[in-house]
Amino acid sequence: MAAVTNSWATKGGPGVVAIAFWALLALLPFGERFVAEGSFDYYLFMGQAMLINAIAILGLNLLIGFNGQISLGHSAFFAVGAYTAAILMNFAGWPYWATLPIAAIVCFVAGYLFGFPALKLEGHYLALATFTLAIAVPQLLKYKPIGKWTGGVGGLLLDKPEAPEWTGLGQDQFLYYLCLIVSILSFWAVRNLLRGRGGRAMMAIRDHAMAAGTMGIDTARYKTVTFGISAGITGISGALSAITVAFVAPDSFTLQLAVSFLVGLVVGGIASLPGCLIGGAFIVLIQNSSQSISDWMKSTFSLRYDVPAWAIYGVLLIALMYFMPRGIMGGIEAVFQRLTTRRERQP
Amino acid sequence: MKLTRRSVLAGASIAILSGRAHAAGKYSPGASDTEIKIGQTMPYSGNASAYGVAGRNQAAYFRMLNETQGGINGRKINFISLDDGYSPPKTVELTRQLVERDQVLIDFYPLGTQCNTAIQKYLNQKKVPQLFVASGASKWGKPKEFPWTIGWQPDYHTEGVIYAKHLKANVKDPKIAILRQNDDMGNDYLDGFYEGLGEDGKKLIVADATYEVTDPTVDSQILQLRNSGANTFFNVTTPKFAAQAIKKVAEIGWKPNHYLVAVAASLGAVIRPAGFDNAQGIITSQFLKDVTDPRWDNDEDVKVWRKFMADWNPTANVMEGSNVSSYVVIKGLEHVLRKCGDDLTRENIMRQAASIKDLELPLMLPGIKVNTSPTNFYPINQLRMAKLEGEHWVVFGETMSRDAV
Amino acid sequence: MDFFVQQLVAGLTSGAIYACVALGLVMIFVSTDHINFAQGEMAMFATYLAWAMINAGFEYWIAFGLTILISFAGGLFIQRVILKPLETAPVLSLVVCFIALLSIFNALAGMIWSYTIKQFPTPFPARDLFGNGLVSVQQIGIVGVTLLMLGILTVFFRYTTLGLAMRAAAQNATSARMMGIRVSWMLALGWGLAAAIGAVAGMLVAPIVFLDPNMMTGILVYGFAGALVGGIGNPLGAVVGGFIVGVLENLVGSYIIGNELKLTFALAIVIGVLLIKPAGLFGRVVVRRV
């Protein structure tokens, strides 16, 4: 697997495809005329959610896919990013855009520091440690002594930023572009990181830590810094989520969120950048589609019970893992490879 | 449900009559001559999934209305209830779906304090009624700030005050221990309780233990509370933990004056699993009839309710309190919509919802009335104290209200 | 002093439950090298089956035995039918499958039996052991059953051919296969046993926490921590780990930090232990050859 995806990340790769794809995403807000009146803003809102999830998964992917460290606790960094933005906007009166870099820095530091104990732990033990983080952060947010800042169990309500007048955009259009620009910057930065010396070192550590060490790579430093960068990227997405949802509360950052990031990562494809986008979209779409399938089953077979949407979700996930055990991008690449080799065989 | 020829004809004639009546209707998005679209978010999954009972029961009720009476005022109800898993960002997403894509007329009985907080600003900006919020927080009745949000049930704060008043009047030399869920419900009750205890109230509280919804048990907390030497126990929990607490208190032989919040006072979902023997003498407050009490066996409303449950929601547990409360609030909605007549604009719905006078709904205790005005957005703010005797709640004392306490 | 003893006993009781869950996790880990996130939900589902049987008029112990058998068969079925085709898939894809199983079991239980809590009978009499309100028969019973299970498992793995074969299959699949052990079936057996252990855990815990579809979600976290702190490959370690976590959680909550952060604090201690002993208290450090 690594060989396939690494070739994409390190070589020239389909840069044209990527640019075309991002351009397409940028044109989406002009599709308003094709959609029933009034609901377009909702689709843009869903688009924002997808992009935000994609950035969070990108952060997670850097850690799991490219550095081989597991985390079940990225919801914690997402929460820290969201609260950083919320607190700065609410108490210090900062403009929304200025909170993004701060959220990234705060989360980088948190992740970097967490990277040190993580050095000692591997596999399942690291999974537990990060799991703890995911459980601890919502409890800490509710903790009385800091309740003045976090809003305690009630959370913090924010003002949604309006689009600047010169843009002539609606609020949701504007926020969509905000998410899109941040996504492009994050993906671009990660792509460059992976192609440089640092990225190669990260992947070498994933593939064989000891060999990497003997080649002179400071594995401890790279692992902690990677943890920091990963947390920082996820923190940015958390801040974006606080801005677009305009509300943060401890209940928003449960273990389920961490699990959904992991599911999105695996479904999209581990160690694949386009996979992050697919995973982000998947998280948002799957629940609604499970619900529709459930409704459809109920009306078609005139059932007495509702078929629970989450059971359908589970079945869909297992089916997906059957057909594409390496995620959707892994599946696409496998098909692509088979096609190209077949062509080579018939000269 | 057998459809006889007569009932079909009756239904048809109603439809024709009302069809004539609403020829000149005024509508907001989501309403038309034939349909009223109602949206809702509910936790059907996740930690709070026990509350999902309410949404299912309401779906059954609307189905009944549509099939037996052709809806309300000749318009079928299209009820869209979505699962938000009790997660505020998901609530925002789904509410936007309801308002913008599905174009519902109102957001009815959305559940959860944090979830409702997350959508309150949005719904008020969009001028979509957030009608009869399913949360006991005291913040839903602020018509000046949020003219499109209106609460429903008596709020936790008031309830907390009522227990404190009762306690001060009846318990000699109280030493109070509190068990509460570490969330906004727990906080609201606590604030009200403090207010009711008055100036030196804080001194009376000798122990205050919290738990998280993810905790497996509250055994450890109960031991801590008993150990504090308290003689009074204020039990601010949700159903599962209430049952655990009641059972554990009995097991360790602690016999405090036990106050249990209304949220967790369901006979079927809490008291029966915890054991009636363990729960004797517990005090709570109510505004609804205890439908499992044989005292109400001949009550017309209770009979109608039982028949409805048997015919339209047969798989539900009739001991579950949510099946009653969700039924009563839907009666409230029905009242508002009927009052609106053919003017189904969002403005008119809020106007009607804010001008209810002494309305008595089925299954509410005698003496409890729904009252609203343009400045009073707390539809039900009366409660009656009740005590567990045998296998039933026995109501006692005067009707207590927000203004009285 | 009484208070301390009570908290200790309460901690041991919850610890016993965590230990049962941890044992199930260890079973699957020993035989397949995976951590089964659906372990808790499988136990919960089995407990509902027992509840349904008891409600249908079965004797408690008959329902108890039948549930264990059904769970065993169910565990086998899950491994053979759902997981076997994924034997070559990456670990994280399997994790996603476990998460999928978790949501399926949870949602199905909610659909069939609703989310209202249910009372589950206990086989132990409701009285004190010494008549002073410190230790109840139920608490001792739960701890006893856990230790009994540990004993049975230890004997099984040490002294029976089947148990030895299972360990061999897990430690070195290739050699085991050459010795004529059907490795793939050993994996399935591990799942079956884990499901059966889970069922016992569920039936022990249900009388205390009440039966509902989310009954095991909180407990799984503790079981996970218990299994790891003891050393994930070792049944004795899992049980000791479970007890440690249970007692720690109660004492920390009562004496040190209060209830609000007790889970966080207890888990932080567990991680602290792991930093000093990365393979867990009873785990053997695996020496890897390069």
pLDDT 10s digit of each residue in chain C, 290 long? 678 888 898 899 889 989 988 998 888 888 877 888 899 999 999 999 999 999 999 999 999 999 999 999 999 999 999 888 888 888 889 999 999 999 999 999 988 888 888 999 988 887 777 766 677 888 889 899 999 999 998 898 889 998 888 888 877 888 888 888 888 888 899 999 999 999 999 999 999 889 999 898 888 888 888 988 888 888 899 999 999 999 998 888 888 777 888 888 878 888 888 888 888 888 776 666 65
Q: Identify whether residues B109 and B20 lie together within a single domain.
A: yes
Mean pLDDT of B55-59: 93
Up-side HSE of residue C86: CA atoms within 13 Å toward CB? 27
Question: Which of A11-15, B246-250, B394-398, C93-97 shows the lowest per-residue confidence on average (mean pLDDT)?
Answer: A11-15
- ∠ Cα B34 B39 B45 (to 5°): 140
Q: What is the pLDDT of residue B290?
A: 85
Contact A252 B87 (CB under 8 A): yes
Alpha-carbon distance of B147 to B150, in angstroms, equals 8
Q: What is the pLDDT of residue C131?
A: 65
The residues near B46 (Cβ < 8 Å, ≥ 6 apart) are A256, B85, B86, B87
Q: What is the pLDDT of residue C132?
A: 65
**What pLDDT digit, counting tens, does each position of A45-91 carry?**
999 999 999 999 999 999 999 999 999 999 999 999 999 999 999 99
> For chain A, first and last CA: distance in Å?
28
Residue B341 has pLDDT above 80, yes or no: yes
**Contacts of C among chains (3+ CB pairs under 8 A):** A, B
Residue B243 has pLDDT above 90, yes or no: yes
Contact C3 B223 (CB under 8 A): yes
Q: What is the pLDDT of residue A312?
A: 92
Residue B51 has pLDDT above 60, yes or no: yes
Distance from CA of A118 to the nearest CA of B (A): 25
Q: Identify whether residues B352 and B334 lie together within a single domain.
A: yes
Q: What is the pLDDT of residue A292?
A: 85
Q: What is the pLDDT of residue B266?
A: 86
Q: Which two tokens stand for residue B376?
A: 């009073």
Contact C263 B244 (CB under 8 A): no
Mean pLDDT of B32-36: 92
Q: What is the pLDDT of residue B13?
A: 44
Alpha-carbon distance of A251 to B165, in angstroms, equals 33
- Domain of residue B258, residue span: 156-286+385-401
Q: What is the pLDDT of residue B364?
A: 94
Q: Are B372 and B355 in contact (CB under 8 A)?
A: yes
Contacts of C86 in chain A (CB under 8 A): 321-322, 325
At what angle are helices A40-67 and A273-300 packed, to 10 degrees?
130
Q: What is the pLDDT of residue A7?
A: 45
Contacts of C259 in chain B (CB under 8 A): 182, 209-211, 220-221, 224
Contacts of B244 in chain C (CB under 8 A): 208-210
Q: Identify whether residues B229 and B179 lie together within a single domain.
A: yes
Q: What is the pLDDT of residue B81?
A: 92
Q: Which two tokens stand for residue A142?
A: 């509710």
Nearest CB partner across the interface for C103, out of A64, A122, A313 = A313
Q: Are C92 and B31 in contact (CB under 8 A)?
A: no
Residue B380 within a domain: no
Alpha-carbon distance of A288 to A301, in angstroms, equals 20
Alpha-carbon distance of A275 to A144, in angstroms, equals 40
Contact B50 C217 (CB under 8 A): no
Confidence of residue B45 (pLDDT cuts 50, 70, 90): confident
Alpha-carbon distance of B152 to B110, in angstroms, equals 11
Q: By CA distance, what is C86's nearest residue in A? A: A322
Burial environment of residue A31 by CB neighbours within 10 A (0 to 12, 13 to 18, 19 or more): exposed
Q: Identify whether residues B202 and B321 lie together within a single domain.
A: no
Distance from CA of C197 to the nearest CA of B (A): 19
Up-side HSE of residue B104: CA atoms within 13 Å toward CB? 25
Mean pLDDT of B375-381: 91
Mean pLDDT of B288-306: 89
Residue B125 within a domain: yes
Residue B311 has pLDDT above 60, yes or no: yes
Residue B360 within a domain: yes
**What pLDDT digit, counting tens, does each position of A310-320 carry?**
899 999 999 99
A122 vs C: CB within 8 A: yes
Q: What is the pLDDT of residue C138?
A: 85
Alpha-carbon distance of B296 to B367, in angstroms, equals 16
C22 vs A: CB within 8 A: no
Q: What is the pLDDT of residue A13?
A: 53
Q: Identify whether residues B93 and B189 lie together within a single domain.
A: no
Q: Are A257 and A238 in contact (CB under 8 A)?
A: no
pLDDT in tens, chain A (347 residues): 444 444 444 444 557 788 888 888 888 888 777 776 667 888 899 999 999 999 999 999 999 999 999 999 999 999 999 999 999 999 999 999 999 999 999 999 999 999 998 888 888 888 888 988 888 898 889 888 888 888 888 889 998 898 888 888 888 999 999 999 999 999 999 999 999 999 999 999 999 888 999 988 999 999 999 999 999 999 999 999 999 999 999 988 988 899 999 999 999 999 999 999 999 999 999 888 888 888 888 888 877 677 888 899 999 999 999 999 999 999 998 888 888 876 665 54
Mean pLDDT of B134-152: 92
Contact B182 A252 (CB under 8 A): no
Q: How many residues does chain C have?
A: 290
Q: Identify whether residues B245 and B304 lie together within a single domain.
A: no
Q: Identify whether residues B162 and B147 lie together within a single domain.
A: no
Higher-scoring residue by pLDDT: B401, C16: C16
- Asked casually if ipTM beats, i.e. exceeds, 0.85, the reply is yes
B89 vs A: CB within 8 A: yes
What's CA A124's distance to the chain center, in Å? 22
**What pLDDT digit, counting tens, does each position of B85-100 carry?**
889 999 999 999 999 9
Residue B134 has pLDDT above 90, yes or no: yes
Q: What is the pLDDT of residue B10?
A: 44
Contact A321 C86 (CB under 8 A): yes
Residue B45 within a domain: yes
C123 vs B: CB within 8 A: no
Residue B173 within a domain: yes
Q: Identify whether residues B141 and B174 lie together within a single domain.
A: no
Contact A251 B88 (CB under 8 A): yes
Alpha-carbon distance of B29 to C4, in angstroms, equals 63
Contacts of A36 in chain B (CB under 8 A): 101
The CATH number covering residue B107 comes to 3.40.50.2300
Pairing outcome for strands B382-389 and B283-286: antiparallel
The residues near C150 (Cβ < 8 Å, ≥ 6 apart) are C19, C23, C235, C236, C239
Confidence of residue B206 (pLDDT cuts 50, 70, 90): very high
Q: What is the pLDDT of residue B1?
A: 39
- CA-based nearest residue to B240, from B320, B313, B152, B318: B320
- Structurally, chain B folds into a number of domains equal to 2
Contacts of the segment B350-355: beta carbons below 8 A, 24+ positions apart: B350/B129, B350/B147, B350/B148, B350/B150, B353/B129, B353/B131, B353/B132, B353/B150, B353/B379, B354/B143, B354/B150
Distance from CA of C271 to the nearest CA of A (A): 6
Helix and strand counts by DSSP (H, E) for chain C: 11, 0
Nearest CB partner across the interface for A121, out of C99, C268, C278 = C278
Q: What is the pLDDT of residue B24?
A: 65
Single-letter amino acid code for the residue at B10: A
- CA-based nearest residue to A248, from A316, A133, A114, A154: A154
Q: How many residues does chain B have?
A: 405
Contacts of C221 in chain A (CB under 8 A): 131, 135
Up-side HSE of residue B167: CA atoms within 13 Å toward CB? 33
Q: Which two tokens stand for residue B53?
A: 């009972």
Residue B20 has pLDDT above 90, yes or no: no
Q: Identify whether residues B311 and B213 lie together within a single domain.
A: no
Distance from CA of B57 to the nearest CA of A (A): 12
Contact A38 B96 (CB under 8 A): no
